[in-house]
Amino acid sequence: MKSAVIVFPGSNCDRDAAVALETMTGQAPAMIWHKDASLPDGLDLVVVPGGFSYGDYLRCGAMAGNSPIIEPLKAHATRGGYVLGICNGFQILCETGLLPGALMRNASLHFVCKPQALRPDSANSAFTSAYAGTSEVSIPIAHHDGNYFADKATLDALEGGGRVAFRYVDNPNGSARNIAGILSENGRVLGMMPHPERAIGGHEGGADGRGVFESLLGAD
């Protein structure tokens, strides 16, 4: 699988994403600096990693959402390429409009980092098929702004379209309908607050995040 990781100033899970991709796909991703105005040809997957792009001094992801690399990212998504946005990456995807809704400050107002129980809500996507038959997984979260919000019609559409990829078992941040991750309409863009790249085994995060990458490897 040919993949790339976008690096914004302030991204800090770019290396984690690269390690996870290399471990799981056997192929190191291309690391793309945000000022580059193009992506390599023939990519299967682009990961928008976690971190604090531009310090998140403005609304989370707002600055990165207007970066030069966003146009090529949108083109990649438009032609059906896979996009995985994790944590700050999810926030950025919402800012670009590739995914609906927004991530607000956690209801507790505190940053929260902990192992998080999730329910894979749809095993029908290219990102979640490996979770078929799994009722609960534990994937770590670490965020200050993970409180997913969208209007009722959007939430209904997400649920109706099988586009809720993961839900929190014990909602840590106030997200609407316990949503932890959502898919685009064509199912080829996933944004999620939990960090699957921090749960590939051999560390405190556990190994339950491997399923996201295993699913992608098995996808068309």
Partner 1 sequence: MTDTSAILAHLHAEQTEEDAAGHGINAEEWERLTSRLGRQPNLVELGIYSVMWSEHCSYKSSRRHLSKFPTKNEYVIQGPGENAGVIDIGDGQAAIFKMESHNHPSYIEPYQGAATGVGGILRDVFTMGARPIALVNALRFGDPSHPKTRSLVAGVVAGIGGYGNCVGVPTVAGETQFDAGYNGNILVNAMAVGLADQDKIFYARGATPGNPIFYVGSKTGRDGIHGATMASAEFSEGDEEKRPTVQVGDPFTEKLLIEACLELMATDAIQAIQDMGAAGLTSSSVEMADKGGIGVEMDLDKVPQREEGMTAYEIMLSESQERMLMVLKPGKEDLAKAIFEKYDLDAEVIGMTTDTGHMVLTQFGETVCDIPVAPLADDAPNYDRPWVEPKPRAPLDLSKYPEPEDYGEVLLKLMSSPDMASKRWVWEQYDRHVMGDTVDSSQSMGDAAIVRIHGTNKALAICSDCNPHYVAADPYEGGKAVVAEAYRNLSAVGATPIAITDNLNFGNPEKPDIMGQFVKAVEGMAEACRALDFPVVSGNVSLYNETDGKGIPPTPVVGGVGLIGDVSKVATLKGAQPGDVLILIGETKGHLGASLYVREWLGLKGAEAGPPPPVDLAAEKRNADFVRSLIEQGLVNAVHDVSEGGIACAAAEMALASNTSFFIDSGTDVATVCDLFSEDSGRFLLAVPSKLSSDDIQDWIDAFDTSVKWSLIGGFGDHSPGMYEEPYLAISGASAQAGIYNLVELPLSRLREAHEGWLPAYMAGVE
- Binding site residues, partner 1, CB under 8 A: 9-10, 12-13, 15-16, 19-20, 33, 35, 50-52, 54-57, 110-115, 140, 142, 144, 195, 197-198, 202-205
Catalytic residues: 87, 195, 197
Amino acid found at 162: G
Q: Measured from the CB of residue 112, what is the shortest distance to partner 1 in angstroms?
A: 6
- DSSP secondary structure, the chain, as one string: --EEEEE-TTB-SHHHHHHHHHHHHSSPPEEEETT-----TT-SEEEE--B-GGGG-SSTTTTGGGSTTHHHHHHHHHTT-EEEEETHHHHHHHHHTSS-SEEEPPTTSS-EEEEEEEEE--S-STTTGGGTT---EEEEEEES--EEE--HHHHHHHHHTT-EEEEESS-SS--GGGEEEEE-TTS-EEEESS-GGG-SSSSTT-STTHHHHHHHHH--
Nearer Cβ to partner 1 (139/150) = 139
Nearer Cβ to partner 1 (163/198) = 198
Q: Measured from the CB of residue 59, what is the shortest distance to partner 1 in angstroms?
A: 15
Distance CA 175, CA 165 (A): 14
Q: Measured from the CB of residue 130, what is the shortest distance to partner 1 in angstroms?
A: 20
Q: Measured from the CB of residue 32, what is the shortest distance to partner 1 in angstroms?
A: 14
From the centroid of its chain, how far is CA 18? 14
Nearer Cβ to partner 1 (22/151) = 22
Q: Measured from the CB of residue 158, what is the shortest distance to partner 1 in angstroms?
A: 28
Nearer Cβ to partner 1 (3/125) = 3
Nearer Cβ to partner 1 (95/197) = 197
